[in-house]
Amino acid sequence: MFYKETGQFKSRYKDELAAFPLFEDKIGIGILCVLTFLVIPMFGLPGLNYEFAMGAIMIPCMVFIIMTLGLNILLGFAGQISLGTGAFSGVGAYAFYKFITIFPDINIIIALVLSGLVSAVVGVIFGLPSLKIKGFYLIVATLAAQFFLTWAFIRVAWLYNYNASGAIEGPNKEMFGIIMIGPQSAGMTRYYFVLVTLIVLTWLASNVIRGRIGRSWMMIRDMDIAAELIGIRPLVAKLSAFAFSSFYIGIAGALMVFFWLGAAEAESFDINHSFLYLFMVIIGGLGSITGSYMGAIFVWVVPVLIKEIGKSVFGFDAFVMENFSTILLGAMIIIILILEPHGLARLWQITKQKLRLWPFPY
């Protein structure tokens, strides 16, 4: 990097344990905050239609980052692989829908936290097999969750209030006098709500990961026998990872439906989405918060941009571009994974390491 830790001495452990011990990092985060809080809502993204930039790039990106964070906690930090992400996000979304329809006066934040908790409980239940099985067999067990839950989303009519379309749809709902969700809500309010949620959740996740509980997850991931010997109960560590991860995924699911799509059916929570989230985690980098950001942004934004460029610059029709972008994304994923199996986060780390010495690498 063009800056280093040289000369920045910490005289207290507390300072050293801070999230961003380096002064320059703090400036970087400050700039990012200004960008996301002021510049982007005012001007949108360069070269893109404002509505498109907010609705198809910024909001979904942030939702997917939360999703990826959730899955990364489970897969990257606790080492428990899951293909039920899509279904757990669905649990969050349906729970949120039930909460706001059963209690119309409920505060949105409370409903969001509650739906995350519901998802956490479901995650723990389907995480129980992880106590006995590992690796590929655990994938199969979580697949059962995926299929069972998507089945339930279609068959259990109570979940979508017996409406004819079978979809869940956000009613207009206010919080503190501002319409937050539903057809009449402004894109801007939804953007800010998702942004703040993302920041809060990232902060909480990074705290937990650096503390006792996060370490217990990593212990289980790296060497479960030694972890047990140090006094970690595998039951507690694994299930708490499932709970925490599903909490995030549930909140992301609720945000996805009510703050981005507006309405959704069971297809939004199917296995393809589980794979998509898995790609985001793997490409971003397992066990890294920065990686979750990079992976989600990369996997979501690249195809969207390819489609846009193809349509506006080269004049291909949308259908061709749709397929082309899928092919291109697939190729890029393969290339990245061959170049750096540990994902974009590691690539970023290596770049930083090289920049430390640049331009005199010897």
Partner 1 sequence: MNEKAPKIMMEVKNINLRFGGVVAIQGVSFDIHEGEIRAIIGPNGAGKSSMLNVINGFYHPQEGEIWFDGQKRPSMEPYEVAKTGIARTFQNIALFKGMTTIENVMTGRQLQMNKNIFWQMLRYGPAIEEEVQHRKRCEEIIDFLEINHIRKTPVGSLPYGLQKRVELARALAMEPNLLLLDEPMAGMNVEEKQDMSRFIVEVNEEFGTTIALIEHDMAVVMDLADRVVVLDYGKLLADGTPKEVQSNQAVIDAYLGVPH
**Sequence-ordered list of residues with C-beta below 8 angstroms from that of 287, at least 6 positions apart, any chain:** 72, 76, 77, 218, 221
Q: Verify binding: residue 353, partner 1, rule CB under 8 A.
A: no
- Options 14, 104, 132, 318; binder of partner 1; rule CB under 8 A: 14
Integer Cα distance of 85 and 11 in angstroms:
43
Q: In which region does residue 236 sit, left (phi positive, over 0), alpha (psi from -120 to 50) or beta (all else)? A: alpha
39-53 as b/e: b if 16+ CB within 10 A: ebbeebbeebeeeeb
**178 forms bridges with which residues in the sheet?**
175
- Options 39, 110, 226, 263; binder of partner 1; rule CB under 8 A: 226
From 221, 229, 216, select the one nearest 80 (Cα to Cα). Answer: 221
CB of 302 to partner 1, least distance (A): 28
**Are the beta carbons of 230 and 219 closer than 8 angstroms?**
yes
H/E run at residue 264: strand 263-264
Closest to partner 1 by CB, 213 vs 302, is 213
Integer Cα distance of 219 and 227 in angstroms:
5
- Options 104, 177, 231, 359; binder of partner 1; rule CB under 8 A: 231
Structure tokens at 111: 């409903």
Closest to partner 1 by CB, 187 vs 234, is 234
**179 forms bridges with which residues in the sheet?**
174
Q: Verify binding: residue 233, partner 1, rule CB under 8 A.
A: yes
x/- mask, partner 1, residues 206-225, rule CB under 8 A, reads -xx-xxxxxxx-xx-xxx-x
Integer Cα distance of 185 and 187 in angstroms:
7
Residues 17-36 that bind partner 1 (CB under 8 A): 17
x/- mask, partner 1, residues 74-103, rule CB under 8 A, reads ------------------------------
CB of 16 to partner 1, least distance (A): 8
Q: Kind of pairing, strands 263-264 and 178-181?
A: unpaired
CB of 299 to partner 1, least distance (A): 23
Q: Verify binding: residue 232, partner 1, rule CB under 8 A.
A: yes
CB of 20 to partner 1, least distance (A): 13
Residues 272-331 that bind partner 1 (CB under 8 A): 287
CB of 295 to partner 1, least distance (A): 18
Site residues for partner 1 per CB under 8 A:
12-14, 17, 204, 207-208, 210-216, 218-219, 221-223, 225-234, 240, 287
